[in-house]
Structure 1
Amino acid sequence: MITHENIEIIHRFFQVDKTSFEEMLSALLQKYNAVYTPVRMVIFGAPADNEEYAMRFAIIRRTVKEQFGANSPFVSYVAQPPQTMGLTMEVHEVVLTVQDRIAYRSRADVEYITIEREGCKRLFMSGVTGDIFHQTIREQSHEVFSKIADVLETEKLPVSSIIRQWNYIEKITDYDATGHQHYQDFNDARSLFYQGSEWTTGYPAATGIGTHWGGIMVDLDALRCEDRSVQVCGVDNPLQVAAHAYSQKVLLGEEDKVLLHKTTPKFERAKAVWKEDHGFVYISGTAAIRGEQSLEGVGIERQTLATLENIEYLVSHENLNRSGIPATKDATLITFRVYVKRWEDMDAAKKVVTERYSNLPAIYTLTDVCRSELLIEIEGMGILF
């Protein structure tokens, strides 16, 4: 039986139909009643350009702060049109115990939340952005990681304590005038940020996904635990080459002048957190890739099925056990985010997912994914027993 006490972090979805932005935002926030402690709100919408994106993001931040006051969750605004063409919101809530101490903090212009108990510290950071009006994607990436590094250092958390990262990259597969691809520029900046840390439990679970606007934005969860009953473990997938082990032939754009080569995406296929007899697993953005090659020319239905098959094997108890997690059964999937590249594929993708998971809460958005030939990407969460 799944209980919230077993989950510890809960993702809840809300959406409203299209009307004016202010009306949609008001209606969306009215739908939400906190069950546990909200730490992050991620709102998906369709601004027309970066000027409108920045204006709306400021409105969202101000409105959420007015509604929640000093104990406000922090927000992200993702320029991905939801399937409804209105606004969609994902709220992350944490189940606090009597031992937990929560603090709402800021460092420079970055706001974040820490939760501490004896032997463990968690950190939630949202909406960390660069300067979308004056910086290149590469410059924004370095600025964002510099801000994150400053917060982690302040909180005495190593970079390797990051267990889940969401990386939003404007026009992810585009190239700049010098031949540098946006996603590759981001990956090079991430590699520089990660180097020097000891990733003994594997890299974070992560999603690197396109947005229509907004430059670079990163959300992340971090966890440091001295409690030996808590196990944190990266989860590989034998059906896919680990992303951080990709060969140079699948990496695009010009090489980095400092690193002298194109660096790989530094993430694990999943990251599991296990305590005594239960836990949860963050499932990274997953696509129709076998080995390190995309399934090309097979259509949206086959790509969607292949993506789901990759996820299902990834979180099977056989694979979890191989990764060192003593789960006794396959993970129970509890949420999906489904990113679809083309409007004309949206209904077909949703049909495949819902036929397989009819009761699974999911949101669907329109956006580009990290390879031009991929039509869909899916991320999610699962519960472990």
Structure 2
Amino acid sequence: TGEGSSYGQTEHLLVEYAKLLEDYKMTVEENCVRTWFFVRDVDTQYKGLVVARWENFTLHGLTPETHYVASTGIGGNPADPKALIQLGCYALKGFKPEQQRYLYAATHLNRTSEYGVTFERGTLLRFGDRNHAIISGTASINMKGEVEHVGDIVKQTRRMWENVEKLLEEAEMTMNDAVQIIVYLRDGSDYETVRSMFQEKYPNIPTVFTLAPVCRPAWLIEMECMAIRPAANSDYKDF
């Protein structure tokens, strides 16, 4: 939608998404496993998204005591010049809620709800023949929810990697299981430095670099990824 505030647009998009899922006999709380929120002028418009998402998720029973959804909230430029928010979602049908397990890496990260946002750090999806780990947008953050290494792109990148690796460790995976990475940069001048670091660290993983500011001005970089590892889960259907 291209009308209203970031709060109003987020609310509208989530209501419409729930209606769409209903058409397929699905719900946000049981079937949605991943979201992406692209925010025009994220430094000023992100707060409206945060409040609207929190209110909507609460209506669907998504709370700190139940679960949220793996997500990325990042700067973006929707095609409609009046649109402040663009929403992308991934939902699965024929999938039991108990096939999901949430990843926290509590030695390195805190729960997002502790600083007022509502998404999971990562989600492990268990199928009969494999496990998928969906890692949300992850930055250089510590277990108090604070930005680590303000102003230092190299140190922020390394801390970000460490956080992602700890999340994957909880899923009994490593970056050797990663099948794709998306990197979000606030400043295009950091591209060559970061590209070189990724080529050295993860030379065989397909990686896309984008110019997209992270949701806090002090964060210079964020990444998300998906990892897949073969498994034998006899209780579940194959992917």
Structure 1 stretches of 4+ with a deviation exceeding 3 A read 198-201, 224-228
Equivalent residue of 1:191, what SS? helix
Mapped to 2, the partners of 1:135 and 1:268 lie a distance apart of: 28
State the shift of 1:204 in Å.
1.1
Letter in 1 for 2:104: D
Residue pair 2:151, 2:218 contacting (<8 A) in 1 also: no
Question: Aligned-pair distance for 1:374?
Answer: 0.4
Q: Distance in 1 between matches of 2:218 and 2:42?
A: 13
Mapping 1:345-364, distance limit 5 Å: 345-364=190-209
Is 2:85 the partner of 1:206?
no
Given the two structures, how large is their TM-score scaled by the length of structure 1?
A: 0.54
Map 1:282-361 → 2, pairs under 5 A: 282-291=134-143, 292-316=145-169, 319-320=170-171, 327=172, 329-330=173-174, 332-361=177-206
Residue 237 of structure 1 is matched in structure 2 by 105
Q: Which residue of 1 aligns with 2:4?
A: 135
Higher strand share: 1
Query: CA, structure 1 residues 201+330, in 2 after alignment: closer, same or farther (shift >3 Å)?
Result: farther
Q: Does 1:167 align with 2:20?
A: no
| Letter matched to residue 283 of structure 1 | I
Tell me, yes or no, if the aligned pair for 1:165 and 1:206 is still in contact at 8 Å. yes
Q: In 2, distance between residues paired with 1:352 and 1:342?
A: 16
CA distance in 1, matches of 2:20, 2:96: 23
Report the CA distance between 1:372 and its aligned residue. Answer: 0.6
Map 1:40-189; keep pairs closer than 5 Å: 130-131=1-2, 134-160=3-29, 161-174=31-44, 182-189=45-52
Amino acid at match of 1:370: C
Partner of 1:272: 124
Q: CA deviation at 1:356?
A: 0.4
Deviation at 1:212, TM superposition (A): 4.0
For 1:194 and 1:350, locate their aligned partners in 2 and report how far apart those are by CA, in whole Å: 36
Distance 1:362 1:226, change over 3 A: closer
Cα distance, 1:170 vs structure 2: 0.6
User: What is the distance in 2 between the residues matched to 1:279 and 1:358?
Assistant: 23
Shift of 1:191: 1.1
Q: Could you tell which deviates more after superposition, 292-301 or 363-372?
A: 292-301
**One-letter code aligned to 1:237:** A
* One-letter amino acid of the counterpart of residue 338, structure 1: V
Distance 1:226 1:305, change over 3 A: closer
Equivalent residues in 2 for 1:5-20 (5 A)? none
- Computed over aligned residues only, the root mean square deviation of the Cα atoms, in angstroms, reads 2.0
Aligned to 1:219: 88
Q: Which amino acid aligns with 2:18?
A: A
Deviation at 1:300, TM superposition (A): 0.6
**Would you say the 8 A contact 1:304–1:353 is kept in 2?**
no
1:123 — aligned with what?
none
Q: Is the 8 A contact 2:137 2:223 kept in 1?
A: yes
TM-score normalized by structure 2? 0.85
* Aligned mates of 1:196, 1:342 — CA distance in 2: 37
Give the drift of 1:153.
2.3
2:8 is paired with a residue whose SS is: helix
Q: Which structure has the bigger radius of gyration?
A: 1
Q: Structure 1 unaligned runs (5+)? A: 1-129, 175-181, 247-263, 321-326
Question: Which gives a bigger RCO, structure 1 or 2 (Cα 8 Å, sep 6+)?
Answer: 2
The 8 Å contact of residues 183 and 210 in structure 2, kept in 1 or not, is answered as yes
* Alignment coverage as a number of residue pairs: 220
Q: Residues 212 and 151 (structure 1 numbering): CA distance in 2 closer, same or farther, change over 3 Å? A: closer
CA contact (8 A) 1:240 1:289 kept: yes
Alpha-carbon distance in structure 1 between the residues aligned to 2:156 and 2:114: 22
**Secondary structure in structure 1 of the residue aligned to 2:113:** helix
